[in-house]
Structure 1
């Protein structure tokens, strides 16, 4: 393994760790911890076929969105079933779970975290697949 490849691998491992920490903060409903891991101009993009919806443009919008989300879904959690990093991006297969009158439900989707340095700059979130 070359020195450049080792350095790239180290950065990718650090980015994967940040994504795991971000999901852990999400699971704890700790919005402030989540905000420490993102850039000031964080964008959250939902992708559904040809349609791309920009959910957030900055930390304040992310804060407001997460506070509202956690109020509406107090049981919502996520776990990473698979993760890999390439360059400045980390891709994950996330499994969301939440409680309903029928018990715990799960759904999975793909997310892509784009980094700027050691912070998450953009999240691309793809539709749920059951």
Structure 2
């Protein structure tokens, strides 16, 4: 019976470690899982009723309102953008909230494209409970912190015509 107890204890370790992370570390882990396109790992950073929203003008559009919806949306997203990668350019931590400026890059028919967006995350009981993204914008308007290096420069795209923007709507 002891091996079963050990196995049960070991299976809870990732969740216990996640619960002890700071709000910024949770967001960083979530983005790291995004970069490996590991939807299952991304979901582990969220609450059961996680809400993913986009702010557009005077509206807040709810993209997903559960882990199942979120997982399905991310699986579709990664099917469309197989090489999408996010870099956190700036991060502000304020209690249970974290705000980021993120640059997402992807390949479009051999051309490296990018766009930036501001993300706002609400952490509840060690997990992402809700997050909002503001409209995407040209990354030229965003200064990269000194410790962030890019492997290859990416061409910026106007959000209205960017492939990534179309897949999020």
TM-score range, shorter chain: 0.7 to 0.9
CA shift for structure 1 position 102: 5.3
Q: Distance in 1 between matches of 2:81 and 2:25?
A: 25
Deviations 1:86-111 (A, max 9, x none): 11100000000000135211110000
Q: Which has the higher contact order (CA 8 A, sep 6+)?
A: 1
Q: Of the candidates 76, 82, 98, which is equivalent to residue 74 of structure 1?
A: 82
Q: Which has the larger radius of gyration?
A: 2
Structure 1 unmatched ranges of 5 or more:
1-12
- TM-score normalised by structure 2 residue count: 0.68
Residues paired across the two proteins, number = 119
Per the alignment, residue 121 of structure 1 pairs with 129
Report the aligned-residue RMSD: 1.4
Contact 2:23 2:95 in 1 (8 A): no
Q: Distance in 2 between matches of 1:32 and 1:61?
A: 12
Q: Distance in 2 between matches of 1:60 and 1:102?
A: 33
Deviating 4+ runs (over 4 angstroms): none
Structure 2 unmatched ranges of 5 or more:
1-20, 139-169
- TM-score normalised by structure 1 residue count: 0.88
Q: Which structure carries more strand by proportion?
A: 1
Q: Distance in 2 between matches of 1:70 and 1:42?
A: 19
